[in-house]
Structure 1
Amino acid sequence: MTSLDELPLRDDLRGLTPYGAPQAPLPVALNVNENAHPVPEAVIEDILADVAVALDGVNRYPDREFTGLREALADYLGHGLAADQIWAGNGSNEVLQHLMQAFAGPGRTAFGFAPTYSMYPLITQGTGATWVAGTREDDYRITPEDAAAQVAAADPDVVLLCSPNNPTGTPLGLDVVEAVHDAARGIIVVDEAYQEFAPKDAASALTLLPGRPRLAVSRTMSKAFAFAGARVGYLAADPALIDALRLVRLPYHLSALTQAAATAALRNSRTMLRMVDEIVEQRDRISATLEALGYAPHPSWSNFVLFGGVDDPKHVWQELYDRGVLIRDVGIPGHLRVTAGTEAETTAFLEALASIGSAS
């Protein structure tokens, strides 16, 4: 059997490992920040009706510009956005890949403040660019002054700002985004995959788009919309930046079925987002109980909680696994991360963790 080492793989890809969050058929899976709530039945029926219409013409290529979906996304985001300021792809990772293909690539660099989303370095390296990791404060926050200084010193072609940050849940102030934008010459991407779980009065980087053609704000339907299996991500930016992404996308990259399903889901956004409040309630319950158990949960504006004070993360992870609960070891010493699930799933996690008794 041929091994990977025997193939003429690109030199810069040798030694890398693919993204690989554990997948296991356990009763309680809280490791990849999915929305544990199913799509409401009434919304499913509406989506199926639109998909059926799309199937009737599936022998033809889909709308290459996914016009209807872009209009629906612009309407959902608000902030005076128009369809020509919207882009979408098969998950936000593909949207980020389009950005990296257009503005990074061989001989260029991408920068982010570590620890952050583990796919950023992989997407960067996959497009032939070099990943440069900055640093955060001990509580994982970033000050505008330090952020600007690090970006100016690194002089990257692309800056990726995760807000709220994954895997820490840390919020990112708009003053940091502005400082980074002013210090950088390249593209600034604010990844707001978890924005719907932030406090309702939390400002979005979408408010910073006017007059900043180098700024893009990405979102996903995987989390708040419970649409992880549908693979729909999107961004908002200046129309000129959107035009740049057309240069690297594959033809007809969004299927007619994807466009139909996503558009129907957006039409039902109020119903779809009702579950967000319950997820936030369980997130806060997790944080409070973790603290009572002697752990150190970090403040989170997302649908997950990173917690420290774990003597032996690998041991605790395995003990939880053996009890039917799957969470995530993100590689931060003394820490583990858990997704806020349903009330029953949250209870199962907290009871399992309490039975281990391994807080520092």
Structure 2
Amino acid sequence: MTSLSDLPIRDDLRGRSPYGAPQLDVPVRLNTNENSYPLPEPVVEAMSKAVAAELRDLNRYPDRDAVALRAELADYLGHGLGTANVWAANGSNEVQQQLFQVFGGPGRTALGFTPAYSVHPLLATGTGTAWRDGSRGPDFGLTVGDAVAQVREYRPDLVFLCSPNNPTGTALDPAVLDAVLAEAPGMVVVDEAYTEFSRPGTPNALALLPGHPRLVVTRTMSKAFGFAGGRLGYLAADPAVVEAVQLVRLPYHLSALTQAAARAVLEHRDLLLGTVEVIKEQRDRIVAGLRQRGLTVADSDANFVLFEVGGDQRVAWRTLLDHGVLVRDVGLPGWLRVTAGTPQETDAFFAAIESVPTGSDSGPAGPAVPPAATGPAPTETGTV
């Protein structure tokens, strides 16, 4: 039987494993930062009608440039952005891949500050771009001095910054972005996949787009909109950047069905975004509960929490799984990441974590969990 090693694949891909997180059938899945709330029935009905209207014409190619969808995304973003400032693709991963294709490639370099989104270096490899692994401080923060020093050292063609950062949940200091924009010789990409979950007063990068033609902000409808299965990501940038990515995008890359469904979702954005505040309450509840338990927890502006287990994270991960709760081992020794979901899922997580030993302690720690949020959960229409 032929194996992968028998095929004439590129040398730099040999020995690598594909990206992936465990997809296990367990009662509580809190490992991939999905929105735990199903789409409300009015949104499902609107999507069904929108998709049905496209079915008869599937013998024709879709709008190659997704103009109507991009206009509605620009309207959602505000900040004076228009259709020419926005580009959409099948998830923010494809958007970022297109950025690598047009601004990276052989002989070019990209820089990220780890721990950060693990797909970025994979996209670099796939496009033949040299990846430089920058670093963060012990608190997972990134200072102006450290960021500028690393940009000066590597002189990258692409710099990737995440705010909030995955897997740590930490937001980016605006001063860091300002400094990187001033120092970087190439493109600066700010991945804002989780920005809707940020705490009040946390800035985003959209306001900096005017006057910064090499700044790109990427976003997704997977998280706050609960559209992970729909695969819709987008960027906001100077119109010249949108023109640039069209040089490498595949013809008709975004299907008519995806465009129709995404537009229906955007029409109901107020309804869908109603779950965001509920999820933020659960995130803050998780942070408080874990800290009461004596664990170190990273500040989070996302829909997930990174926490130190006080021992081998693989043992803690398995213990939680044995109790029906799937979280994410992100490869940081001693740390795990848990998605904030429904109040019931938070209850299950806290019940399971009581069985996880802390430090050298071989037995479960005593309960130290705040009460569940008393506000009502979202109804079928998504209100709270």
Q: Which residue of 2 aligns with 1:69?
A: 69
Q: Which residue of 2 aligns with 1:315?
A: 315
Q: Which residue of 1 aligns with 2:291?
A: 291
Aligned: 1:22 with 2:5: no
Q: Separation in 2 of the partners of 1:117 and 1:227?
A: 19
Q: CA-atom RMSD, angstroms?
A: 1.0
Deviation at 1:12, TM superposition (A): 1.3
Deviation at 1:278, TM superposition (A): 0.4
Normalised by the size of structure 2, how large is the TM-score? 0.92
Equivalences for residues 43-58 of structure 1 within 5 A: 43-58=43-58
- Per-residue CA deviation, residues 24-65 of structure 1 (Å, 9 max, x unaligned), is 000100001011111111111111111111112211100001
Letter in 2 for 1:356: V
Letter in 1 for 2:182: D
Is the 2:316–2:357 contact (alpha carbons within 8 Å) kept by the matching residues of 1? no
Q: Separation in 1 of the partners of 2:222 and 2:203?
A: 21
Q: Which residue of 1 aligns with 2:164?
A: 164
- Per-residue CA deviation, residues 178-219 of structure 1 (Å, 9 max, x unaligned), is 111111111100000000000233221000000111110000
- 3-state SS of paired residue (1:38): coil
- 3-state SS of paired residue (1:167): coil
Q: Which residue of 1 aligns with 2:345?
A: 345
- Per-residue CA deviation, residues 51-90 of structure 1 (Å, 9 max, x unaligned), is 1111122111000010110000000000000001101110
Q: Which residue of 2 aligns with 1:197?
A: 197
Q: Which residue of 2 aligns with 1:328?
A: 328
Q: Separation in 1 of the partners of 2:83 and 2:33?
A: 29
Q: Separation in 2 of the partners of 1:356 and 1:88?
A: 42
Equivalences for residues 251-270 of structure 1 within 5 A: 251-270=251-270
Aligned: 1:206 with 2:206: yes
Normalised by the size of structure 1, how large is the TM-score? 0.98
Letter in 1 for 2:288: A
- Per-residue CA deviation, residues 202-237 of structure 1 (Å, 9 max, x unaligned), is 221000000111110000000000000000000000
- 3-state SS of paired residue (1:355): coil
- Per-residue CA deviation, residues 84-118 of structure 1 (Å, 9 max, x unaligned), is 11011100000000000000011111100011001
Is the 2:158–2:187 contact (alpha carbons within 8 Å) kept by the matching residues of 1? yes
Deviation at 1:149, TM superposition (A): 1.6
Is the 1:282–1:346 contact (alpha carbons within 8 Å) kept by the matching residues of 2? yes
Q: Which residue of 2 aligns with 1:101?
A: 101
Q: Which residue of 2 aligns with 1:187?
A: 187
Q: Which moved more, 1:45-54 or 1:22-31?
A: 45-54
The percent identity for this pair of structures is 58
Q: Which residue of 2 aligns with 1:127?
A: 127
Is the 1:198–1:301 contact (alpha carbons within 8 Å) kept by the matching residues of 2? yes
Q: Which residue of 2 aligns with 1:225?
A: 225
Letter in 2 for 1:329: D
Q: Separation in 1 of the partners of 2:293 and 2:146?
A: 34
Q: Which residue of 1 aligns with 2:84?
A: 84
Letter in 2 for 1:65: D
Q: Separation in 1 of the partners of 2:289 and 2:40?
A: 29
Q: Separation in 2 of the partners of 1:181 and 1:310?
A: 38
Is the 1:293–1:359 contact (alpha carbons within 8 Å) kept by the matching residues of 2? no
Is the 2:282–2:342 contact (alpha carbons within 8 Å) kept by the matching residues of 1? yes
Equivalences for residues 146-161 of structure 1 within 5 A: 146-161=146-161
Is the 2:319–2:355 contact (alpha carbons within 8 Å) kept by the matching residues of 1? no
Is the 1:295–1:359 contact (alpha carbons within 8 Å) kept by the matching residues of 2? no
Deviation at 1:359, TM superposition (A): 5.0
Q: Separation in 2 of the partners of 1:301 and 1:77?
A: 19
Letter in 2 for 1:232: L
- Per-residue CA deviation, residues 231-271 of structure 1 (Å, 9 max, x unaligned), is 00000000111111001110000000000010111111100
Q: Separation in 1 of the partners of 2:298 and 2:173?
A: 17
Q: Which segments of structure 1 move beyond 6 Å, counting only runs of 4 or more?
A: none
Letter in 1 for 2:185: R
Q: Separation in 2 of the partners of 1:359 and 1:64?
A: 55
For structure 2, list consecutive stretches of 5 or more residues without a partner in the other structure. Answer: 361-384
Q: Separation in 2 of the partners of 1:164 and 1:46?
A: 31
Is the 2:309–2:316 contact (alpha carbons within 8 Å) kept by the matching residues of 1? no
- 3-state SS of paired residue (2:330): coil
